Amino acid sequence: MLELRPNCECCTVELPGDSPDAMICSFECTYCRSCAEQRLQGRCPNCAGQLQSRPTRVGNALSNNPASTKRVIKDHAPCP
């Protein structure tokens, strides 16, 4: 099951579990659509993997399996 991290690892904007603006790589590094497309050119800065839209979790699925509350902010240089 996806962790559904709650924020963009680049700009820290909130990305709730039902957000259509969350993008992830195969390791679940999480970015907002704006950072993924404009700053990162569709590639994860951690693994160089392709960033794809994160599936949303809604309704009872989100209530019964809530998104993570653990915020991830990378300690490397800020996003380009």
Going from N- to C-terminal start, the domains of the chain cover: 1-49
Band of the pLDDT at 65, cuts 50, 70, 90?
confident
Report which DSSP code applies to 67: P
How many other C-beta atoms lie within 10 A of the C-beta of residue 34? Answer: 15
| pTM to 2 decimal places | 0.84
Confidence of residue 69 (pLDDT cuts 50, 70, 90): confident
Amino acid at position 22, single letter: A
SS3 76: coil
Task: Please state, as a whole number, how many other Cβ atoms lie within 10 Å of the Cβ of residue 40.
Answer: 19
Number of CB atoms found within 10 A of residue 18's CB: 14
d(CA 48, CA 51): 9
> What would the pLDDT profile of 16-56 be if each residue is shown by its tens digit?
999 999 999 999 999 999 999 999 999 999 999 999 999 99
